Each structure stands twice: as structure tokens, then as C-alpha cells.
Amino acid sequence: MNFLSILYGLFLLSVLGVYWSLGQQRLRLWTLLVASLVFYASLQLQYIPLLLALIFINFRLGLEIGENKSSGEHFQDSQNSNEEWQFAHADWNRRRLKVLWLGVILNVLLLLGFKYLQPLLKFVFQNDAINSATESFKLIAPLGISFFTFECIAYLIDVYRGAPAAKEFLEFAAYKFFFAKLISGPITRYHNLVTQLNHLPLPTPDIVAEGLWLIARGAVKKGILADDLGIFVDLCFGNLQRAGSVDLWLATFAYGLQLYLDFNGYVDIARGSGMLFGLVLPENFYFPYFSTSIADFWRRWHMTLGDWLRNYIYFPLGGSRQGLDRTCLNLMIVMLIAGVWHGAALGFLVWGALHGLALVVHRLTHSLGDRFTALAKFWHNPLGIVLAWLLTQLMVFTSWIWFRLPNVQDSSYVIGHLWGHDADVQFAQKVYVEALNISPYQMAMLLGALAIVMAVFYAFDRTIKLRFSWHVKLVFVPLCLYFVWLLAPEGSLPYIYFDF
């Protein structure tokens, strides 16, 4: 069941009708869970028992971690001395830590097994027979497994840090399986969502309009913009030997926009769907291509992943509290983990290393700015801001090459042919004349126009805080959906982040 389909629209309307016709919270939770199971079954029915088992295991581990002795128990038991109670309390906390590590390791091994076992076997054995046999491992990767495990790890750590554990399995399962966020996020913390589930007011007209507007806006981003860009990107990166330097640069910038619009479009539809159920899912993007530093980029791009990396890896490693050298090392470790999380190919590791290096350079530059006021002032004047933006986006877009082509032979070929390489005549005929019916110059103009439109929306959001009324949004919703139906290319491309 694809978000951009009439079937999903009918499914969403049917579930909403049942959901809001029920008065009891428990029945609404059952509705959400059953609907989510149906949604996932339409994609990968065979993995539902596995995911349910993993949800139950994490639920039980959370209960074990959450059960902690309070100081009140000691004062009520006069037979225990204060010293004996302190020893018992310390022993109990050690047990909680062991249970936490058990849960974290279980989830990490699950993720590693599904995503990295096959390439690891290929690398270790280098045997054709074994490599042929391991091809079957491609079938055992449940959709959304990365987001699933990250949410479980976050939940267990939050409970260990003092947040209350889930008491009802139905509530926890409904949170974990909620179909809007299940496949590609946004990564949502349990305690944020369950608080909303326990206080569900009837949606007001403006909330309904906002939810529908998010769905329609996301459909335009994905169905029209991202998929059309994806056709050009696939043609260029699928014919590397024939593409010229101009084509590779255009494809690089087109892919950066495609990835953003594809993922952001998915999140808009997910957030809009959640809003119709009275649930506000976290935002995942805030105009990342207008950031003026790589640190700012990661505060705007895939925000829930960035928040997860900061809270559950960067801060436990020491963050920036242990000196500049340790801070730079922690940043590099975090981004290498982010690269590995996206896939087992070496290109993802290179991508993570490049972002880690960029964050280190930014931190060092910031440190120099604290010592030299003239340098700090330069980065805050108009020329410095423009230069910082250009350097940041050049780094971000060129690093996407390793993301789109994780095979380092392909990505290295692109990097080596970004300058002074002419395109094959047949390539230009096939791509620009037969497939797209535009010239490279016109393609560059279209990419520039799209960037200008994004800049205008960003300016409106930052300066005059332009917001449409709910009446206007309801007018735009059917228009957006009609244009998607009319203009979207046949056979929509799969969401890019389904692979992660």
C-alpha cells in the first residue's frame, strides 16, 4: 500500500471513521494496531510475527528496567540498615544496567543481522557458491527495521534514565506499529506519543485542514517533483560512462533535491495522517539547504535522527564536555555510525566520514573564532554568510554522490569526471531529447527555479511568518491532489528511505 495511491486514501478514511466513532481509548488503540497490521501486511506480511515478538521483548525489558527500588521502601522496612539498603539499591541499579545493555545489544544485533550479514559473508569468504547462497539474505530485511530498532533503543534508554515504562502492551504495540511512521519515521519517542494517545480531543476544523494540507503538500513533493527529478537522476547515474561533467553536476544537484523532496514528502504525509488521528509527529526537516554550517545542516536535516544521535551516542560519549580533541573524536564517531546505519556499502561509510570531517572543521573554525574576533565577525557579515552557505552546500551536495552511488568504484568515477569530461553524443540524444525533451541548459534552469521557489518559501517562513488560514488550505488540498494525479509520472518511484 503506497502513500500515493487511491487505496491508501480509502484505507485512511475507513480507519478514521472507525477510530473517531469509538469513545473508549482502548478501542481506539485496538483500531490503530489492527489498521497498522493491515497496512504492514500489504507490504510484508511474513514479518509481522517477528516484529510483534520484538515489540513484546522490548516491552518486557522496559518493565524490568523500570522496576526500581525507591527510598520509601527502606524507611518502611526498619529491619534494614541504611548501609544495607544502599548496597541493595546499587546492586539493583547494576541489574537494570545489565538489562539495558541486553536490550541495546539485542536490537543492534537485529539491525546488523538484517542489513549487514550478507555483505559481511561475501567479504569474508569471497566464494562464488557461498555468495550465491547468501543472495537469499536480501529477503530478510523488514521494511522500517532501522527506524524500528532506533525507537526501541531510545525507549529502553529513556526508561533507564527515569522515564516511566509502558504498563500496557496494547499501548506500546500501537505506538510501535503506528502505520504513519512505521516504515520511514520520523523517529518518535514513546513518551511523546503515548501522552497524546491518553489525551485525544476531537480534531477541530483547523487541525483537520492542516492534516489534509500536509498530505496534499507531501504528495506534490513526492509525486511530481521528486519522481520527475528521479527519472533524470537515474538516467545519468545509470549511464556513468556516457555522461559528461555537466550532466554529472546536474545529476548531483538533482539528486540532492530529489532526496530532500522524496523524504520530506513522505514525512509530510505521515505527519498529516497522524494529525487526523489527533497525534502530532515530530518535524523532520526545516529548510536544510539554507543552512550556513554543517552543524546547522544537521539541526535541520532528518532532525529526529540528529536528535537520536546526539542524545543516545554523542552525549554518552562525553559530547563537548571533555575538551576540543575529544569533541572532534566524538563527532567523527557519531557520523561514522550514521553512515553505517544507512547501509553496509563502503560509500555510506565515506559519506559519514565526510560529514564527520566537516563537523570537525566547523568545530575547529568555531574555536578559532573564539580566539580571533575578526574571524568571528567575518562569518557574521553578509559576505561571510554567503561564503559559509556556498561551502556548506557544496560539501553536502557532493557528499550525496557516495550516498546515491555507495559502490566506491562508481562514486569515485563520478568525482574523477566532474571536470573536463564531455558527454557521449548518444547519451545526450537518449536523455535530453528522447526521455526528457529538454536541453541541459533548460534542466539547469529548472533546478535553479526550484531552488528559488524553496528560497521564497523559506523567506516567507523566516520573515513574515506567512500562514494560510484553514479555509485556504482546504481549497488547495483537492487542487494539489488533482495535479499529482494529472502530472505525476507513471509508475511512481519507491520512497528512497524505504531502503534504510
CB 203 within 8 A of CB 278: yes
Q: Evaluate whether residue 117 is within a structural domain.
A: yes
- Tell which residue, 320, 286, 252, 261, has the closest CA to residue 462: 286
Rounded CA separation 227/259 (Å): 10
Pair 286, 354 in one domain: yes
**Confidence at residue 71, expressed as pLDDT on a 0 to 100 scale:** 45
End-to-end Cα, the chain, rounded Å:
18
Contact residues for 461 (Cβ-Cβ < 8 A; gap 6+): 287
Pair 277, 373 in one domain: yes
Q: What is the pLDDT of residues 288-336, one digit of tens each?
A: 999 999 999 999 999 999 999 999 999 999 988 888 999 999 999 999 9
Q: What is the Cβ-side half-sphere exposure of residue 18, based on CA atoms within 13 angstroms?
A: 14
Domain span at 82: 6-200
Pair 222, 149 in one domain: no
Catalytic residue (one of 191, 199, 302, 342): 342
pLDDT category of residue 137 using cuts at 50, 70 and 90: very low
Rounded CA separation 408/411 (Å): 5
CB 286 within 8 A of CB 304: no
Pair 223, 194 in one domain: no
% of the chain exceeding 90 in pLDDT: 59
Rounded CA separation 32/28 (Å): 6
Q: What is the pLDDT of residues 436-447, one digit of tens each?
A: 888 889 999 999
Pair 148, 245 in one domain: no
Domain boundary among 200, 220, 243: 200
- Tell which residue, 75, 149, 82, has the closest CA to residue 112: 149
**Position 74 pLDDT exceeds 60:** no
Pair 395, 318 in one domain: yes
Q: What average pLDDT does range 490-495 have in this prediction?
A: 78
Residue 154 φ then ψ, to 5°: -60, -40
Pair 277, 223 in one domain: yes
Q: What is the pLDDT of residues 158-187, one digit of tens each?
A: 999 989 999 999 999 999 999 999 988 899
Minimum mean pLDDT range among 264-278, 301-315, 426-440: 426-440
Q: Evaluate whether residue 310 is within a structural domain.
A: yes
Q: What is the dihedral of CA 146, 147, 149, 154, to 10 degrees?
A: 140
DSSP 284: -
Q: What is the pLDDT of residues 376-427, one digit of tens each?
A: 788 888 899 999 999 999 999 999 999 999 999 999 999 998 998 888 888 8
- Tell which residue, 389, 329, 325, has the closest CA to residue 356: 329
In the block, cell 575529544 appears at: 326
Contact residues for 10 (Cβ-Cβ < 8 A; gap 6+): none
- The 3 state secondary structure assigned to 301-322 is CCHHHHHHHHHHHHCCCCCCCC
Q: What is the pLDDT of residues 441-480, one digit of tens each?
A: 999 999 999 999 999 988 888 776 667 777 788 888 999 9
- What are the DSSP calls for 39-102, one per residue? HHHHHHGGGHHHHHHHHHHHHHHHHHHH----HHHHHH-TTS-HHHHHHHHHHHHHHHHHHHHH
Residue 357 burial by Cβ neighbours in a 10 Å radius (0-12, 13-18, 19+): middle
**Confidence at residue 119, expressed as pLDDT on a 0 to 100 scale:** 66
Pair 154, 220 in one domain: no
**Confidence at residue 488, expressed as pLDDT on a 0 to 100 scale:** 85
Contact residues for 386 (Cβ-Cβ < 8 A; gap 6+): none
Rounded CA separation 176/173 (Å): 5
Q: What is the pTM of this model?
A: 0.90
Pair 372, 411 in one domain: yes
Q: 354: left (phi > 0), else alpha (psi -120 to 50), else beta?
A: alpha
Number of domains in the chain: 2
247: Cα separation from own chain's centroid: 28
Pair 70, 45 in one domain: yes
Rounded CA separation 71/74 (Å): 5
Q: What is the mean pLDDT of the chain?
A: 87
Q: Evaluate whether residue 434 is within a structural domain.
A: yes
Task: Report CA Rg, the chain.
Answer: 25
Q: Evaluate whether residue 495 is within a structural domain.
A: yes
Residue 143 φ then ψ, to 5°: -60, 135
Rounded CA separation 125/326 (Å): 37
Contact residues for 88 (Cβ-Cβ < 8 A; gap 6+): 69, 80
Rounded CA separation 58/153 (Å): 9
pLDDT category of residue 368 using cuts at 50, 70 and 90: confident
**Confidence at residue 460, expressed as pLDDT on a 0 to 100 scale:** 83
Rounded CA separation 301/280 (Å): 19
Pair 43, 183 in one domain: yes
C-alpha cell recorded at residue 330: 566524538
**C-alpha distances out from residue 58 to 5, 51, 107, 169, 458, Å:** 33, 11, 9, 10, 41
Pair 156, 217 in one domain: no
Long-range contacts of 446-455, Cβ-Cβ distance < 8 Å, separation of 24 or more: 447/250, 447/253, 447/254, 447/257, 450/225, 450/257, 451/257, 451/289, 454/287, 454/289, 454/290, 455/290
Q: What is the pLDDT of residues 191-234, one digit of tens each?
A: 999 989 888 888 888 899 999 999 999 999 999 999 999 999 99
Please count the other Cβ atoms lying within 10 Å of the Cβ belonging to residue 445.
12
Q: What is the Cβ-side half-sphere exposure of residue 236, based on CA atoms within 13 angstroms?
A: 30
Q: Evaluate whether residue 36 is within a structural domain.
A: yes
Rounded CA separation 363/257 (Å): 27
Is there a cis peptide before residue 282, judged by omega within 30 degrees of 0?
A: no
Domain boundary among 200, 235, 269: 200
Q: Evaluate whether residue 1 is within a structural domain.
A: no
**Position 1 pLDDT exceeds 90:** no
362 is catalytic: no
Domain boundary among 177, 200, 223: 200
C-alpha cell recorded at residue 380: 557574521
- 3-state secondary structure at position 271: helix
